[in-house]
Structure 1
Amino acid sequence: MTEQEGSSRPPASHSGPLPWVRMRSAPAGPQVFKRMIGDVDPKARPGDIVAVYDKSDAPYGVAFFNPKSLLTLRILSKDVAGFDAEAFFADRIARAISFRREALGLDKTTDAYRLIHDLGDGFPGLVADRYNDYIVMEIYSLGMFRQIKRIEKIFAAHFPGAKFVHRASHHTESMEGFRVEPAGPCKTRIKENGILFEVEPSAGYKTGFFCDQRENRQAFAAFAAGRKVLDVCSYTGGFGLYAKKAGASEVSCVELDPEASALARRNANINGLRVDTVCADAFPYLRQMAANRSRFGLIVLDPYKLIATKDGYALGRQKYIDLNKLAFGVLEEGGILATCSCSGMLSMEEFQQVVRTAAGVTGRRAQVFRKSGAGPDHPFAADHPEGEYLKVLWCKAG
């Protein structure tokens, strides 16, 4: 029987007010694709929280339901009996905040960090970032969209006076079937390890800033003293500003987006730091640097996601090779390259092969001395390894 035909026969063990869904097959992780759906309660509506059962009618969990989405069920909890949404969200949010504030102690070094990291915190379809007095929530699922006011209220109890911004990509809105009203222009300043950044929560990429690179920015700065530094795909200047404050002799921040490049310049001014902000495409810029025989002692490559779909894998992988090849071409003997990939479809092992290929083509010996990823406020669920999206390889060039 298809989902569209439906079945009015509920699972034998079902009780309580939640609509039910019976799966045809169970997933390996917390997301259930449309092809895995069996029967659906006629009362179930898109965005509802539903009780989920396996094909033998055994309770499986509680999930967001959206028949429009390829991810028809997003599992919230394995406990079906007595599920209370208000108590569930209040408890999950309190645990997530406690982890950041008490276990990680992030308030000691910054007022900008991720509060909720999607499935890593048990919130399928939501990330939430704190930027000083703003909380920016990027929504990826209809179910989470319908819960957003409840979540806001809970956050407000932990962060009195917080201002909220909601964001979602046009692609997500189309695939999930909701629309977020655009927020008006707003700005705030955050402090991260003693460095100030201006953030525009309603503009820019994702939620307006990349807290996931915080620990990597600090590690990068440790190599900066006395070196000529190149920050490629610099966005608003994070790596470059850390390097200059740590004593880099020169810093160039290269970014294609003119608004982000202008913000990097403002951030440098806010901190009283002198950096060269260049609005340019990274590929021709690096080729020009090679033609000019320019060399750098410390380089970071932090491009946007170059592999977004399975169909784009081969082309995106080649772009990673080309970008790293160009970086090795302008890296001085004994220089250090921190190269990043935020493409979840590219594993760390495959990324290592990319760097190996790029170094080999340029005749360089790449000594990988460190691997890292996103900061600890970006946890990933063990049953959803795709959540470990950010990969950073630290190489010394021979």
Structure 2
Amino acid sequence: MTSIPHETPGEPNPLNALTLDLLRRRTSMKWRTHPSDVLPLWVAEMDVPLAEPVVRAVTRALTLGDTGYPSGTAYARALAEFAAKRWGWDGLAVERTAIVPDVMLGVVEMLKLVTAPGDAVVVNPPVYPPFFAFVAHMDRRIAEAPLGADGRLDLDVLEQAYRRAVAGGGRAAHLLCSPHNPTGTVHTARELAAVAALADRYGVRVVADEIHAPLAAPDGDFVPYLAVPGAQNGLSLMSASKGWNLAGLKAALAIAGPDAAADLARMPEEVGHGPSHVGVLAHTAALSEGTAWLDALLAGLDDNRRLLTALLAEHLPGVGYRPGGATYLAWLDCRALGLGDDPAAVFLERGRVALSPGPDFGTGGAGHVRLNLATSPEILTEGVRRMARAAVR
């Protein structure tokens, strides 16, 4: 599989478009959870205007009163075309897809198809906190296979976790975060093929959360899990949500490998009634017409990663940061600052800057924070300066 290079951005950097005053008029979680003197660099919302094709699609729907129930396969076809062009993957079969309300609810439905209450679900901490909460709510048990010290999958540790997960005779699944949140790690084709081989050996079903896939950096070389040899019975969840900032317009796609089509067919019909029809239209427009906007965003995120590296070197040289190949999230090791297990609490109280607490991400999260760098260079700079002032008190 050969990925196609990203196009040269034909639009201005959307991260530079909005002022702090304009952003504070938003009423979403990012801007309403904390008091107005707090600079929010935490939850995964981007400080950008929407791509024009998305605005047109939503406006057209509202003008027509086209706000009924979702129908058809346009979303899946748009994703298949995007995947073929962006990642060189032509294996996304529209007939093996299903619309789901969002990625995490889709994850729940996929895990229900391949596991039962009491079964184990393997995760790779530090990892997206809802993984723990949703798995527990389903009456499944977590089996941890922590990332290695290099932030990558540790295949020996993963094999041990698989062995423990199936030891009692039950079924097991691996909830794979790809690209990885919070580290931004992009798993290689070799790593993913090794995961598929281990999963086949131990009878573990892989469910891949690939919501951050469109946000792979130009040199990130993202590989869909279902594209690697041995992944035929895998399941994937994808969405335009993170790439185009559409979390409030609910819609995602569940995708089955060839040997998992029968599993996906067993998903209850009512699950497909949960997505927003307007959301489906927005996501379809993003994937089919919004690539120039996305390329401009990716270039801006790359600039912000370099800026963050320089800011930390100047103001917080004790903080460890390894720029990821995808996402707009930065995983910062603050243990050398002596701020305890939850530095985010200190940064919030002393510096009035909100970051995601590392302990929420499970094993390996203590002493860390997750910073959302999908904002303007000015806001990012002010955020790091606030962190630095908080760290020296």
TM range (shorter): 0.3 to 0.5
Q: TM-score, normalised by structure 2?
A: 0.33
- Which structure features the higher share of strand residues? 1
Rg larger for: 1
**Greater helix fraction, Structure 1 or Structure 2:** 2
Q: Give TM-score scaled by structure 1 length.
A: 0.33
* Higher RCO (CA < 8 A, seq sep 6+): 2
